[in-house]
Amino acid sequence: MISMYREYLPDRTKGYMVMPDGKELQTLEPPWLDNEVGESCIPEGMYRVRRDTTGRFQYYEVMDVPNRTEIEMHRGTKPSHSQGCILFLTDSDLGVLLGWFGDNDWALEIKEQ
């Protein structure tokens, strides 16, 4: 299981994922807007993440998000680059995820810092 910790700001949600070796990958999401489709970060909780080979960005997809679909993980540097997805600031951070998990499913727990 990977933990992701968030800090909620009025215009964005900053966070980081802690990898099994302790490396922290910075994340960015839209602000919390009551789980509004295409506008809000997803709710805190435990999610299954699967390799995505058919979506727009084709890295990973967060599954079983309440009232939401197509929540991808991809590169982006500002909240407007996301429609509710989890952004990584660099391609190398996405490469770290691929290196750890490849095509395997994994668990992600999202919580406040």
> Rounded to whole angstroms, what are the CA distances from 2 to 23, 33, 45, 48, 79?
11, 24, 12, 10, 22
Question: Would you give the DSSP letter of residue 5?
Answer: E
DSSP 3-state of 29: strand
Structure confidence at residue 44 (pLDDT): 98
Token pair of 95 as six digits = 């490469």
Domain residues for 106?
2-112
DSSP 3-state of 50: strand
* CATH number assigned to the domain comprising residue 101: 2.40.440
Structure confidence at residue 55 (pLDDT): 77
Q: What is the pTM of this model?
A: 0.95
Distance, CA of 97 to CA of 25 (rounded, Å)? 9
pLDDT tens digits, the chain, 113 residues: what are they? 999 999 999 999 999 999 999 999 999 999 999 999 999 999 999 999 999 988 788 899 999 999 999 999 999 999 999 999 999 999 999 999 999 999 999 999 999 99
Please tell me the total count of domains within the chain: 1
Distance, CA of 24 to CA of 95 (rounded, Å)? 13
